[in-house]
Amino acid sequence: MKKISVIAPSNIAFIKFWGRRDDKLCLPMNSSISMSLNNCFTITTIERSKKYTEDIVEIRSYKEEKYKKLVVSDIKDQNIFDQIERIRKLSGIKEKVYIRSQNSFPANSGIASSASGFSALTSALLLVYKQEHLFNNKKELSKLVRLCGSGSAARSVYGGIVELKTGRTHDESYAVQLYNSEYWDLVDIVCIIDSSSKKVSSSKGHLKSHSSEFEKARQVGLRNRLKQIKQAIKNKELERLGELIEADALSMHAVMMTQTPSLLYWEPGTISVMKQVIDLRGKDILGYFTIDAGANVHVITDSKNLEKLLPYLKKNEYVKDMIVNRPGKDVYITSEHLF
Residue 116, interface with ligand DP6 (CB under 6 A)?
no
Handedness of CA 157, 161, 167, 172 (dihedral sign): negative
186: which strand partners? 302
In the three-class reduction of DSSP (H, G, I as helix; E, B as strand; rest coil), residue 149 is classed as coil
Residue 203, interface with ligand DP6 (CB under 6 A)?
yes
Closer residue to ligand DP6, CB minimum distance, 128 or 154: 154
- Taking residues 217 to 236 in sequence order and writing x for each that binds ligand DP6 by CB under 6 A, - otherwise, the string is --------------------
Tell me how far, at minimum, the Cβ of 330 lies from ligand DP6, in Å.
18
Residue 115, interface with ligand DP6 (CB under 6 A)?
yes
| Beta strand 68-69 pairing with 56-60 | antiparallel
Residue 235 gets which letter from DSSP?
Answer: T
- Decide if 12 contacts 298 (C-beta within 8 A): yes
Query: In this chain, which of 36, 114, 116, 181 binds ligand DP6, going by CB under 6 A?
Result: 114
In the three-class reduction of DSSP (H, G, I as helix; E, B as strand; rest coil), residue 173 is classed as coil
Closer residue to ligand DP6, CB minimum distance, 48 or 218: 218
The count of residues interacting with ligand DP6 (CB under 6 A) is 17
Residue 299, interface with ligand DP6 (CB under 6 A)?
no
Closer residue to ligand DP6, CB minimum distance, 153 or 319: 153
Query: In this chain, which of 292, 297, 309, 313 binds ligand DP6, going by CB under 6 A?
Result: 292
Closer residue to ligand DP6, CB minimum distance, 143 or 206: 206
In terms of Cα–Cα distance, which of 18, 114, 152, 110 is closest to 294? 110
Query: Rounded to an integer, what distance in angstroms lies between the CA atom of residue 9 and that of residue 333?
Result: 12
In terms of Cα–Cα distance, which of 98, 185, 222, 89 is closest to 144? 89
In terms of Cα–Cα distance, which of 188, 261, 197, 250 is closest to 225? 250
Closer residue to ligand DP6, CB minimum distance, 199 or 304: 199
Query: In this chain, which of 42, 45, 119, 152 binds ligand DP6, going by CB under 6 A?
Result: 152
In Å, how far from its chain's centre is CA 106? 13
**Contacts of ligand DP6 in 9-38 (CB under 6 A):** 13, 16-18, 32
Query: Rounded to an integer, what distance in angstroms lies between the CA atom of residue 107 and that of residue 105?
Result: 6
Query: In this chain, which of 101, 156, 173, 202 binds ligand DP6, going by CB under 6 A?
Result: 202
Residues that bind ligand DP6 (CB under 6 A): 13, 16-18, 32, 112, 114-115, 150-153, 202-203, 206, 292-293
